[in-house]
Structure 1
Amino acid sequence: MSGAFDGWTIVFDLDGTLVDTAPDLLGALNHVLVEAGLEPVTLDTIATMIGHGAKAMIIKGMAAQGVEPEAHRMDGLFNQFLAYYEANIAVGSRPFENAVAALDQLAAGGATLAVCTNKRQSSSDRLLDTLQLSGKFAAIVGADSVPECKPHGDHILLTIDRAGGDRSRAIMVGDSRTDERAARNAGLPFIFVPFGYESETQEEIAADLVVSNYSELVSAILSLLN
């Protein structure tokens, strides 16, 4: 395994790919809803909105109760969500099973690791710092740190650049059609993890490989390289 991944950059999405962040995102949403005089919702209500940002979750959570937020209130609701979320960012959020071991194996094999996420930069940094994962990545690039975020391919390409990698020797790992489209737009192979939050099935996402547990990731990447 030593040196098997020399010169390769493996780029990961964050929410629903590396870390199960749903418990804390739901907690922040329900805080906003209760403060607005509404009922809390279950994860099933907003799971498919997680990759689309806080505002999408707020709108979905309210719509489930027959309420449409006025446009002029959205910034206030968003800021309330963000403040609560960043204060409680890793209460229930944890890396997916075997994810940390896979990262360590890839790094031991010479891979450069990076995170490319549509999460805000501050939240991404805080989450990975709190989970003591930041040091594993050569670059962590949030949505507000680039001119265009995923599905724009430049988000991934700039992440590779910031990690000191080679754009022609990189692979994207993600849990959504947004990640798949971004990988294709960047000209990269795409590995799909089906345990994330999107509603698409693996049949609907044109992945090069599907990995149902991180225990399979290293061998999957080896098969792509070979």
Structure 2
Amino acid sequence: MTKKLIVFDFDGTIMHTHTTMSLSIIGVLEFYNHHVPSLKEMNDLLGNLSMANIFRKYAKHDLLDIEIETMIAKYYEIYGSSLFMIHSYFFDGILELIKKIRSIDNVKLAILSNKKSTLLTTMVDYYNLHHYFDYIYGAEDVDQMKPHPSGLLRLMNNCNVDHKNTLLIGDSLADLKAALNVKCHFLLVNWEPEYQKHKETIANLKPLVVQTIDELEIEISQFLR
């Protein structure tokens, strides 16, 4: 079989982390005594506003840039504590599927995430995922984050695989555009439609969408033929 590369996004693709992100932001607002939204309100905001703009939205005063930087640092501190261990979890069947793919000869596996690299490493270490993947890249490991193609191009170059033999699996518009930018195969997982952002734009780009782990396995099998 020709060498293949399968690249997974992390948040919303391998693991549910949405609640952890929302609670971490709420924790920062509570810590600095700003207005605190409900969990549902925060869940709805994620993906529509940057973290800095969320902090500005709920601040009790106009925030200086240094205050925002401090609040973002606190976010990563809260997230990287035991919070993710409580509220993050693997989507049903995804880890078993990754293990199955890992056993196939001539297939390289990678994670390409826009998550802060140190935080991604913390979670990968905690869940002992390193041995399933040949490469694991977070935000600081690439020249520019998705949808920029630099991360995918670096992985393809490292694995000596072209775009025709590369598959990106993700859940967001950034993932889809990254795949389009390198002209590789793409699968959009829709595990959490309630958190899906940019639905109309994604629909107009007409990606192949999978709703279940069984559908994902079928499409991966087709790619590997």
TM-score in terms of structure 1 length: 0.84
| Secondary structure, counterpart of 2:6 in structure 1 | strand
1:32 and 2:28 correspond: yes
1:201 and 2:195 correspond: no
Query: Alignment length, in residue pairs?
Result: 219
How many percent identity over aligned positions?
A: 22
Alpha-carbon contact 1:59-1:69 (below 8 Å) kept: no
Question: In the alignment, what sits opposite 2:87?
Answer: 92
Offset at residue 71 of structure 1 (A): 2.5
**Equivalent residue letter for 1:77:** M
CA RMSD, aligned part only? Answer: 2.6
| Secondary structure, counterpart of 2:70 in structure 1 | helix
Offset at residue 217 of structure 1 (A): 1.3
Question: In the alignment, what sits opposite 1:166?
Answer: 161
1:14 corresponds, among 1, 6, 10, to 10
How many angstroms apart in 2 are the aligned matches of 1:96 and 1:167?
A: 29
Structure 1 residues 77 and 30: alpha-carbon distance in aligned structure 2, compared to 1, 3 A threshold: same
73-82 vs 23-32, which deviates more?
23-32
Alpha-carbon contact 2:36-2:58 (below 8 Å) kept: no
36-45 vs 86-95, which deviates more?
36-45
Question: In the alignment, what sits opposite 2:215?
Answer: 216
Runs (5+) with no aligned partner, structure 2: none
Alpha-carbon contact 1:150-1:179 (below 8 Å) kept: yes
**Equivalent residue letter for 2:33:** G
94-103 vs 201-210, which deviates more?
201-210
22-31 vs 143-152, which deviates more?
22-31
Per-residue CA deviation, residues 26-83 of structure 1 (Å, 9 max, x unaligned), is 221111010121344344333366458xx92353255257765333311111111111
89-98 vs 172-181, which deviates more?
89-98
1:117 and 2:117 correspond: no
Structure 1 residues 172 and 150: alpha-carbon distance in aligned structure 2, compared to 1, 3 A threshold: same
**Equivalent residue letter for 1:160:** M
| Secondary structure, counterpart of 2:161 in structure 1 | coil
Per-residue CA deviation, residues 121-141 of structure 1 (Å, 9 max, x unaligned), is 111111111122222111111
How many angstroms apart in 2 are the aligned matches of 1:117 and 1:90?
A: 19
Structure 1 residues 165 and 16: alpha-carbon distance in aligned structure 2, compared to 1, 3 A threshold: farther
